[in-house]
Structure 1
Amino acid sequence: MDAAEEPLLAAASTKPDGAPPPRNKYPFFCAVLASMTSVLTGYNVAVMSGAQIFIAEDLGVSDTQIELLSGAINIYSLVGALLAGWTSDRLGRRLTIVLTNAFFLLGPLTMSLAAGYPALMAGRFVSGVGVGYALVIAPVYAAEISPASSRGLLTSLPEIFINTGVMLSYVSNLVFSGLPAHLSWRLMFAAGVVPTVFLAAGVLTMPESPRWLAMKGRTEEARAVLGRTSDTPAEAQQRLLEIQEVLIVSVPGSGNGNGNNSAWKEAASKAGVRRVLATVLALQFFQQASGIDSVVLYGPRVLAMAGVTSNALLLGLNVLFGVAKAGSILIAMALADRVGRRPLLLVSTGGMTLSLLVLGSVFAAFAGVKDDAAVAAVAVVAVVAFVCTFSVGLGPLAWVYSSEILPLRLRGQGAGLGTAMNRVVSGLVTMTFISLYGAITMAGTFYLYGAVAAASFVFIYTCLPETRGRNLEDMEQLFRTK
């Protein structure tokens, strides 16, 4: 950017009287619509939490089969995560979201009609591909459509909707739990089919990402979208200039879409690019290795071992966890653009560490104690504290931070790699949870998760700079990826 362009930045940030301009509501509605697909991500992952009880009763499947069925969706999502970057760079962000909804239509429908375990696993595979796509494309679109003033809020939307989906799956588990076993679990899956067609149709009404349009050489279309999604006309022009500067410097041939191969070669030669990719992968590793999906998928089993004996109460407590999780993300959304990413991440990982140590200590001190209401209550409080502290920071902000620090030329594929890491670790954690606590006890399992949470605190404190208020293009300077 030359000196003649610098006044535009000042004009973009204030009105003539010096007051900040009012925030544009249109990018909020676009980000909400794109992120609503994430409701289906949360629903499809977590519905197995209650459905597994009735599948085991109806089909007579073993604990090992339940473990595989519950956790396999995270491994299957690798397919979608690795394809999403390629798809979004070629078809665009918007059509990729439509494709995601198609997977969320076919997967649950297959499961609800399944006659046996193989069909259930096939439906879980299709749903998993949709999960991988959604985890990549929703935060990428939200980050690229948002002005800097509200990017933290808008890029957090996919996570709040994921947790809304988790909460709705728990409600579905509870609502259908009174039906006969052969019918209840089928309706739990079928309920996830309904929203997909409406969401796909709605997505077609929103604009394409301006950064993707610019990357494809469609500058006038990008200019028009930026005009609709910026707080002021001057800010729209400034954002376009910054995008073009990044494209000219770092994506040779971007107008023809030919820059991706050379961009990936930079990872081998540029320390800044390696640092960004390592940061993304580490954040996604820590987010899942601390055991959050074990609590999401096996919460009733954990609490049953802590002394809660009623199935209805177990499923009701699951709803409580979902409400607490979703409410905590609202706090993160409200604070991300005010207090910054680092403070929330540090509070989050510190709180996770403490709550996991308390939960592990409950099982260590009271192993074998039955029907003790006080022990069960402490376990419930520790689980609620864990999901709340996770959701106020590491849950949503791992995606926010990853999306905003990736350079434009790597954003689609880099987000795919980060999501692949996230899903691999989640799959390993959820597919080994029953076996793990059988080998090292429930106390040992939560102590292990607590150690990972403590390591994530150290990583964030030592390695992550603050990104609040910076334009996406500024990240190139912050991480020296040019």
Structure 2
Amino acid sequence: MEKKSLSDNDTDTFTHMESASLNNAQIGVILPRGPTESADEHNHSPDGQVRRSYTKSGIQGLFSSKYVFLCALFATMGGILFGYDQGVVSITLVMPQFLEQFPDVSPTAPGAGFKKGLMTAILELGAFIGALNQGWIADKISRKWSILTAGCIFLIGAALQTGAVSFAMMTVARFVGGVGVGMLAMVAPLYISEIAPPEIRGTLLVLQELSIVTGIVIAFYITYGTRHIPGHWSWRLPFLIQMIPALFMVAGVFMLPYSPRWLCQRGRDEEALRTLAKIRELPTSDERVLREWCEIRAECSYCKEASEKKHPNLTSPGLWNTIKLQLALYVDCWKMPIYKRTQVAVGLMFFQQFVGINALIYYSPTLFETMGLDYEMQLTMSGVMNICQVVACVWSLWGMDRFGRRKLLLGGAFCMFLAHFIISILVGKYNGKWTDNTAPGWASVALILFFMLSFGATWGPIPWAMPAEIFPSSLRAKGCAFGTMSNWGNNFIIGLITPPMLQNIGFGTYVFFCCFSALSGIWVYFLVPETAGRTLEQMDSVFKDKSTVEEVENRAAILSRLMEQSMERPTSS
């Protein structure tokens, strides 16, 4: 048989698949356009031919891919659990019943600021450990069963938090729960990106951030409602309730399909084809399914070959060699030229935390108290603040692709800087004198709401979504892992230092976050390029390196070979 070469259009299709996580590229087989086919169902190639896609892009595509959407909702329940565990401490920390059980974090206790920060932030330290280990766990036992493992660990942590009777027990319980949410936050986007049609992959990935802020809001209003319950159940009940979505998620795991990519990694190619056809709701003989199946196999083959080429001494069988190979791939992320991409992923998560978002989420009632609001109004405005973030995050589903990542990051940095700058002036001038100056107090509250809207539309979703766009596929999982670990590590630091800062430097806390908001804008201006609408090949020109050209060429050759083999398969359904 004459060897079939890969056409330019095929190569273009394959390249687009790699960058499809957020630019909504279209995958499909090249077909002539029929007289009854709508132009909306295709993506034109340069020579006038069209590629059939699975579904429409964006939010519209969710309704025509119901099975994948349902699977993604189950996977992103981990984001709800993370957000819930973050938000539940906001009101709990100021409940008299809670402070009675845990006098160590009472405002009058010695070292209360540090202990309050430790109890709050230990969740993020656990999440860091969970995210660090979830990569090899997900590769070993599958994305599906790693979600189950993480859910069970979270349930153990939630049960311990519900029954906690001492500061030490609550701290350990939140650490255990953090391990679970860190594992879930790592595997959920990975699983979604591997099962979603490329047209809606970006939209589904933004669901992760949306689920986090939704969890925060749910936790806030549950604790807002239970605070009037007499006795310890006022704070134990919110910790118990978080087990309900976790149980739903654990039960739902058994109905989730395996990731086709993971099946191909394990050499289960035929099962991968059947699974892919099931989640696309098409027969195995469908040309689009066959092509995507070949692309997945090509990606897996290339990643294996790339590892063998870079680290030939570590590819032989054995546990120790496997561990050393995984560590070597992590190190590769910090070598030139990939280093520039890694610092973007890590830096985005660093500044996401150091502009002060979780300081507001964790300690919003305390912050509003410093602005002169009474207890009930502190809680009410904390709820409004969290709703503002949800609204802004929903807007980002539409705005992130329309306006681009870089512009939104720069605009968000400026707005956050402005909010912190004015708040620091008002708090510094009127602190302790709010009773006679209610207008500046409400102005400060309004600026916090403005900050939440700005963050929720820009620095909230973009750092979660952007890393998947910038790394070559052979290092994408490792690069994204560094970004996730940066989030947890810096989240832990912010949760730990905020209470002592509020106690000791007052308005200086806002000056601190103001400075980092300004630095985030400067950093983005000089070091973060625009990636919206760019293909994998174009990332080389964006970062001014050649790290993906050879990769694309090699992968295209593998794809050509696999496509030729797939054409020889007997037709089946």
State TM-score, norm by structure 2: 0.76
237-246 or 54-63: which moved more? 237-246
1:252 equivalenced with 2:305 (yes/no): yes
Q: Which residue of 2 aligns with 1:425?
A: 490
Task: Please identify the structure whose Cα radius of gyration is greater.
Answer: 2
Q: Which residue of 2 aligns with 1:6?
A: 9
Q: How does 1:313-332 map to 2 (within 5 A)?
A: 313-332=377-396
> Which residue identity lines up with residue 247 of structure 1 in the other structure?
C
Q: Which residue of 1 aligns with 2:338?
A: 273
452-461 or 283-292: which moved more? 452-461
- Given that 2:101 and 2:166 are in contact with CA atoms closer than 8 Å, whether structure 1 keeps it comes out as no
- Given that 2:194 and 2:259 are in contact with CA atoms closer than 8 Å, whether structure 1 keeps it comes out as yes
- Given that 1:46 and 1:169 are in contact with CA atoms closer than 8 Å, whether structure 2 keeps it comes out as yes
> Which residue identity lines up with residue 20 of structure 1 in the other structure?
D
User: 448, 470, 492: which one pairs with 1:405?
Assistant: 470
Q: Which residue of 1 aligns with 2:408?
A: 344
Deviation at 1:230, TM superposition (A): 5.8
- Given that 1:139 and 1:400 are in contact with CA atoms closer than 8 Å, whether structure 2 keeps it comes out as no
- Give the 3 Å change call, closer, same or farther, for CA 185–61 of structure 1 in structure 2: same
Q: Deviations over 1:159-214 (max 9, x none)?
A: 11111110011101110111125221111211111121111121332222233333
Q: Deviations over 1:334-369 (max 9, x none)?
A: 223443333333332222222222222221232221
Deviation at 1:288, TM superposition (A): 0.7
Deviation at 1:282, TM superposition (A): 1.0
> Which residue identity lines up with residue 415 of structure 2 in the other structure?
G
State TM-score, norm by structure 1: 0.90
- Give the 3 Å change call, closer, same or farther, for CA 383–237 of structure 1 in structure 2: farther
Deviation at 1:434, TM superposition (A): 1.8
* Structure 2 spans left out of the alignment, 5+ residues: 14-26, 42-54, 57-63, 106-111, 309-314, 552-573
Q: Which residue of 2 aligns with 1:33?
A: 74
Q: Which residue of 1 aligns with 2:372?
A: 307
* Structure 1 spans left out of the alignment, 5+ residues: none
- Give the 3 Å change call, closer, same or farther, for CA 216–278 of structure 1 in structure 2: farther
Deviation at 1:393, TM superposition (A): 1.6
- Given that 1:152 and 1:337 are in contact with CA atoms closer than 8 Å, whether structure 2 keeps it comes out as no
- Given that 2:101 and 2:165 are in contact with CA atoms closer than 8 Å, whether structure 1 keeps it comes out as no
1:370 equivalenced with 2:413 (yes/no): no
- Give the 3 Å change call, closer, same or farther, for CA 473–212 of structure 1 in structure 2: farther
The 3-state SS of whatever aligns with 2:434 is: coil
- Given that 1:92 and 1:212 are in contact with CA atoms closer than 8 Å, whether structure 2 keeps it comes out as yes
Q: How large is the RMSD of aligned CA atoms in angstroms?
A: 2.9
> Which residue identity lines up with residue 316 of structure 1 in the other structure?
T
- Given that 1:80 and 1:133 are in contact with CA atoms closer than 8 Å, whether structure 2 keeps it comes out as yes
- Given that 2:77 and 2:246 are in contact with CA atoms closer than 8 Å, whether structure 1 keeps it comes out as no
User: 64, 80, 89: which one pairs with 2:139?
Assistant: 89
2: CA distance, partners of 1:231 / 1:18: 21
Q: How does 1:369-388 map to 2 (within 5 A)?
A: 369-371=433-435, 372-388=437-453
1: CA distance, partners of 2:501 / 2:266: 48
Aligned length: 479
- Give the 3 Å change call, closer, same or farther, for CA 337–241 of structure 1 in structure 2: farther
2: CA distance, partners of 1:13 / 1:43: 46
Q: Deviations over 1:387-435 (max 9, x none)?
A: 1111112111111112343444434443333222111111111111121
Q: Deviations over 1:51-103 (max 9, x none)?
A: 11222233322323222111221122211111111211212212121122112
Q: Which residue of 2 aligns with 1:152?
A: 202
Overall identity of the aligned pairs, in %: 27
- Given that 2:329 and 2:478 are in contact with CA atoms closer than 8 Å, whether structure 1 keeps it comes out as no
Q: Which has the higher helix share?
A: 1
- Give the 3 Å change call, closer, same or farther, for CA 142–329 of structure 1 in structure 2: same
Q: Which residue of 2 aligns with 1:59?
A: 102
Q: Which residue of 2 aligns with 1:44?
A: 85
- Given that 1:139 and 1:156 are in contact with CA atoms closer than 8 Å, whether structure 2 keeps it comes out as no
The 3-state SS of whatever aligns with 1:206 is: coil
Higher relative contact order (CA 8 A, sep 6+): 1
Deviation at 1:12, TM superposition (A): 5.0
Deviation at 1:109, TM superposition (A): 1.3
2: CA distance, partners of 1:471 / 1:190: 46
